[in-house]
Structure 1
Amino acid sequence: MGFISPNLPDLDREAWARGSRMERMRPMVQDWAQAGFSAPDAVLVLYVVKIALYCFGAAALTALTPGIGDLGDIADWWTEPIFFQKVVVFTLLFEVLGFGCGFGPLTLRFLPPIGAFLHWLRPGTVRLPPWPSVVPLTRGTHRSWLDVVLYGALLLAAVQLLLAPGQGGRPGSVGVIDPLLFLPLLGLLVLVGLRDKTIFLAARSEVYATLAVFFLFTAGTGGDTTDMLVGLKLMMVLIWWGAATSKLNQHFPHVVSVMMSNSPVLRSKTVKRRFHRDFPDDIRPSRLSANLAHGGTVVEYVVPLVLLLSDGGPVTAVAAVVMVCFHLQILTSLPMGVPLEWNVFMIFGIGFLFVENASVGIGELGNPLVLLVIAAAAAVVVLGNLFPHQFSFLPAMRYYAGNWATSLWCFTPSAIAKLDASVAKGARLPAAQLETLYGAETASLLVHKGYAFRAMHTHGRALFGLIPRACGPDHETAYAPHDGEFVAGITLGWNFGDGHLHHEQLLEALQERCAWEPGEVRLIALESQRFWDPRQEYRLVDAATGELERGFVHVSDMLDRQPWAGGIPVHDVVTPTVTAPAPRTLTPEV
């Protein structure tokens, strides 16, 4: 693998380019199965450096706390409760600035490698309010100076907490941050989120904001942290259990096989091929992938419970080591979307909450409001799995489940030109960024590597299989499919797997700006699978004329198909009374 250049499969590029879309995808899928995305080593170094800077930044800012000690003495003060508080705030700030999830080349973000604050401090960019018809003063999709000010105030509130002194605490301790200082941060997150749900999600509020709520449960100047620590422990267990619950499906083994094939630690192609049934002809997950998937789910249920109920000693130590290894395995696989700092944070949380404070048990909880917060968070997880069309996959904690709302956007060349000309944004679509970096030929190969990633998941079979229904007989020549993740990334400033950020609401916001003609843009939206429902709903939408069709695909059909199979059976199809005009025959796909 090159240090700067991507390592692409060896094939006859002219013959490859003459194939159909699915024929072009097949060798990319097969190459992913044994080499992953094949990112240059420079990209891997970039992410390692970023993790190191994240760790250094959290420690260095905490070292500025009066009385805590120098950075070089961190071994003496890493167990201070105020350090955990500041790590939570720093991680929230790191994420909402765009340096965490969704950063850099492994999310096909190159020029620039970041959106977030470059986007959200710019008036006129797109914002998506969650309930514009219900919440007053949130209508519209244009970012105003008010939105910029609110976002800036959110950043300042986080910085204020990072520089705050401690108060109270036992002798020799610097105490904890004044609980009242967390109210501006939490309040601003709510206000910003009501104006733009993207920022609320980008802050990873379901983790860090919820954890910050428990910082309110410190007993005044006495600095008693018992209720805070119990609440934090319960929330950490809920995060693990929520994620484990969402993995009780048939999709998750596909996530494991794709992630392990992309691992930079596993350099052996022979080993990576074992994660698939019969390389190169059957790229469905092997028994090894399924066992890893389901075994990991069991670990995520059982070991956190042991950590919660044990009070130190060998049992706690063994359980802690198991969960550290669990997160290290994810971290070193460098999964696409790169939730790297989250895994580092969880490892730190294991050490601070369950090892250092193992003696603080749930029986010592004094304030019942802690349980109310946990119950509310748990309710969102349950409802998010029962009614996934109404909840983001983040608060529903379906992080690695493989059961996500997704979309494909099929653009004509004229539609892309209007997108570039009419929408305020900091970057072009990844295909254009790659062409600038590597030229058209290599860019096309890398774009198809991206197709391969999506198609190797169950939902990808449906998305690509529905293209002919959405775009008609000219779909091969008239349209270029783009993953909805990347459309959201450039137009909203952030993307991390939430398909509800790039469904109809974003399409309508962009249509206001671009005024696409009928047939120029076709959206294929696929909703998550509900618990106990063997189907997933899809919708086909034209940007100019609205919904063309809706129906269901069966999960069993997605499981049975190879990533390059093409069309997929549909069921319970509903079409509007007035159908949209058919797309025009346009210039070939690039």
Structure 2
Amino acid sequence: MGFLTPSPQPVPPAEFVRLPLRDRIRILSSHWVEDGFGTPRVLHLVYVLKMLGLYFAVGLAITSWTTDYVHLTDPASWFDNVVVYQKLAVWLMLLEVIGLGGAFGPLCGHFTPMLGNIRYWLRPGTIRMAPWGRHVPGTGGDERTVLDVVLYVAVLASLVYPLLTPAEPVRFLPEGTSPQELVPPEAFVPILVVMPLMGLRDKVVFLAARSEQYLPIMLMSATLGALVMAEDAGSAAFVNLVVVFKIIICVVWIGAGVSKLGEHFINVVPPMISNSPGQPSLLKRLHYRNAPTDLRPSRLAWFMAHVGGTTVEILIPLVLLVTTNDTVALLGAVAMLVFHIFITSTFPLAVPLEWNVYFGYIALVLWGGLGGGFDASVYNIWNFSEPLLLIPIFAVLCLGPVLGNLRPDLVSFLPSMRQYAGNWACTVWTMRPGVEERLNELPLVENQLDQLQRMKPTPYEPDDAEMTMQKVLAWRSMHSQGRGLFSVLYEHLDDLEERTLREGEFLCNAILGWNFGDGHLHDERLIAAVQKRLNLDPGDLVVAYCESQATPWTNPPQAYRVIDAALGVVETGTWDVRDCVAEQPWLPNGPVPLRVTWAAPGFRRRRTLTAGSSSDTELTA
């Protein structure tokens, strides 16, 4: 790939677009092995500058301006003040909700302009997604109103408030702890009130802010922080607060590690490594059994997934949670820093780079013991002065991961801690000719094919733009659920070759302004909102959707459903994940077996189900 230009396509785009779908997926998934998404190097530089400059440098500058003990020119002070943990969390939440965090840029489907979020959420009339609109009074509907815009502005203001509020010194500290400050506890109250209200009106804003990561920090800063700053507080109150901060980050790590158990995660590592601009081609190929003919994960990929990934993310945080040894704590913190640096270097789609920098950096702050910091011999769970209080704290922090693994249909993959797990709810949208162009009729929406054709400094030709969008489909096919979704489409649509196919996550970014891998944002509720505005005919827009697999380590069937924009959900069923991971991305042996569990009355398939399926009815709209 060039510095200003994307890498050359593996075949001429004009020839590519005329090939059958299986050949297109085979070509692009094989090309992904060494080339990834093929974005110009300059975009990686933009992401790095944004991560290190806008987030880290500006965040530390704001922290130094609003504190007495953190100094921008004194790096040692960056690591021994817990107020940095608070300030950078607020700053990152603000960047995320504006759209300058993980959902920024081409690796999230924002080609031009590269910013979504705030452009959509400051404009009445755009689509919003209420989580419980039928059940919570005053939250129904799918159109953004002036009230929603006011709430969004209130979210921004309530984050600016604690960010710019001067920190206050902590009076009672354990002996040997360097002078400490905290953001005044009351400064977090506005965001703790406004963000849930915003979430009831539009869950997209709530999730975009990464509330599952940062609201617990703010909740504990407001509650336990108030105890620290009380007139009669003792040093134990500050120890309790720091210990809870450690628990929060460990729950995130361990929850994410547990979510990687099962058949899915090993399929995440090879395409993620392939997208890394810093990895040599040989190392990329070694993550596949025999590229380009066999793209199933190799033994190296298994080791990287389940030893370098799952084991590290569960075992080391468990050690950090219970250790009282400063050396062990420092080694564990460094290991987690390396872990996050590695993830950052791969530039995964959705590019949560700032989040990874934050967690790696904060591991050194909380466990590194640098500059007279928070030594494990003092700041450990065994020194928590109110042990019974740990029960509700753990209950609150573990609710999302536990419920999300038991009932993934009820919980977003973000609070479920499935960010990298490969066990994702997702969709593939199929449209008859002309339907994609009609998406531009939606408020503020410009489809990504058009965006690419006016992208500067190198606009794409139409066939080249189409080929680039289909790279995302190839990426999806390299994961377990992609093979299931394509199997559903092959079984359902006799005109699949004539249709426009789009990966749902990227399309969701164009319609809602944000997505970070959460298929719940582009399920039948978003499709109904699109249908309400476009009034499509039956068969114009048909979507294959799959839900995350519950308790994946027990390997139950994974559920899918077929959604027609004009008719709603028309079929539900399941597939065996083991069948998916045993196949190549382009399904050379045909669709994986599907088990139909329900079909809408009067709805019949256009295509005959393949052998191994439970029905041979035909589908007609």
* TM-score, normalised via structure 2 length: 0.90
1:228-247 deviations in Å (ceiling 9; x for gaps)? 11111111111111001000
| 1:17/1:373 CA distance change after superposition, 3 Å | same
Trace 1:215-294 onto structure 2 (pairs within 5 A): 215-216=221-222, 217-218=224-225, 219-221=228-230, 224-266=237-279, 268-294=280-306
The Cα of 1:280 is off from its aligned counterpart by 1.1
Trace 1:321-340 onto structure 2 (pairs within 5 A): 321-340=334-353
Deviates more, 1:270-279 or 1:432-441: 432-441
Q: Secondary structure at the residue paired with 2:363? A: helix
Aligned letter for 2:47? Answer: Y
CA distance in 1, matches of 2:341, 2:194: 33
Deviates more, 1:217-226 or 1:558-567: 217-226
**Mapped contact 1:550–1:575 kept (Cα < 8 A):** yes
CA distance in 2, matches of 1:231, 1:126: 38
CA distance in 1, matches of 2:538, 2:70: 64
State the partner residue of 2:382: 363
Trace 1:88-167 onto structure 2 (pairs within 5 A): 88-167=89-168
The Cα of 1:22 is off from its aligned counterpart by 1.4
The Cα of 1:494 is off from its aligned counterpart by 0.4
1:149-176 deviations in Å (ceiling 9; x for gaps)? 1110111111111111122414884621
Match of 1:212 among 215, 218, 224: 218
CA distance in 2, matches of 1:73, 1:559: 50
1:230-265 deviations in Å (ceiling 9; x for gaps)? 111111111111001000011101101111111111
Identity of aligned residues (%): 38
The Cα of 1:450 is off from its aligned counterpart by 1.3
State the partner residue of 1:188: 194
State the partner residue of 1:86: 87
Match of 1:200 among 171, 182, 206: 206
CA distance in 1, matches of 2:202, 2:447: 22
Match of 2:542 among 511, 519, 522: 522
CA distance in 2, matches of 1:371, 1:229: 17
**Mapped contact 1:257–1:285 kept (Cα < 8 A):** yes
Aligned letter for 2:381? Answer: I
The Cα of 1:13 is off from its aligned counterpart by 4.5
The Cα of 1:134 is off from its aligned counterpart by 1.4
Match of 2:593 among 569, 583, 587: 569
| 1:264/1:124 CA distance change after superposition, 3 Å | same
CA distance in 2, matches of 1:164, 1:520: 53
1:533-580 deviations in Å (ceiling 9; x for gaps)? 431111111111122211111112101110011523211342111227
State the partner residue of 2:497: 476
State the partner residue of 2:449: 431
Aligned letter for 1:366? Answer: S
**Mapped contact 1:518–1:581 kept (Cα < 8 A):** no
What are structure 1's unaligned runs of at least 5 residues?
Answer: 584-590
State the partner residue of 1:19: 19
**Mapped contact 2:103–2:514 kept (Cα < 8 A):** yes
The Cα of 1:418 is off from its aligned counterpart by 2.8
1:100-150 deviations in Å (ceiling 9; x for gaps)? 122111122111111111111111111111111111100001111111011
CA distance in 2, matches of 1:77, 1:519: 57
| 1:373/1:514 CA distance change after superposition, 3 Å | farther
State the partner residue of 1:386: 406
**Mapped contact 2:337–2:360 kept (Cα < 8 A):** yes
State the partner residue of 2:435: 415
1:179 aligns with 2:176: no
Deviates more, 1:64-73 or 1:548-557: 64-73
Aligned letter for 1:321? Answer: V
Q: Secondary structure at the residue paired with 1:377? A: helix
**Mapped contact 1:407–1:502 kept (Cα < 8 A):** yes
**Mapped contact 1:169–1:176 kept (Cα < 8 A):** yes
**Mapped contact 2:69–2:181 kept (Cα < 8 A):** no
State the partner residue of 1:578: 602
1:395-425 deviations in Å (ceiling 9; x for gaps)? 010111100000011122332233212x112
CA distance in 1, matches of 2:594, 2:350: 30
CA distance in 2, matches of 1:571, 1:582: 17
CA distance in 1, matches of 2:605, 2:437: 21
Deviates more, 1:203-212 or 1:375-384: 375-384
1:547 aligns with 2:584: no
1:462 aligns with 2:484: yes
Deviates more, 1:563-572 or 1:458-467: 563-572
State the partner residue of 2:619: none
**Mapped contact 1:411–1:481 kept (Cα < 8 A):** yes
| 1:88/1:63 CA distance change after superposition, 3 Å | same
1:307 aligns with 2:328: no
CA distance in 1, matches of 2:82, 2:326: 21
| 1:405/1:341 CA distance change after superposition, 3 Å | same
CA distance in 2, matches of 1:80, 1:180: 20
Aligned letter for 2:450? Answer: A
Aligned letter for 1:523? Answer: V
1:40 aligns with 2:58: no
What are structure 2's unaligned runs of at least 5 residues?
Answer: 173-177, 608-621
Q: Secondary structure at the residue paired with 2:73? A: helix
State the partner residue of 1:588: none
1:351 aligns with 2:360: no
**Mapped contact 1:389–1:527 kept (Cα < 8 A):** yes
The Cα of 1:15 is off from its aligned counterpart by 4.2
CA distance in 2, matches of 1:361, 1:114: 41
Aligned letter for 2:291? Answer: F
How many pairs are equivalent? 578
| 1:151/1:17 CA distance change after superposition, 3 Å | closer
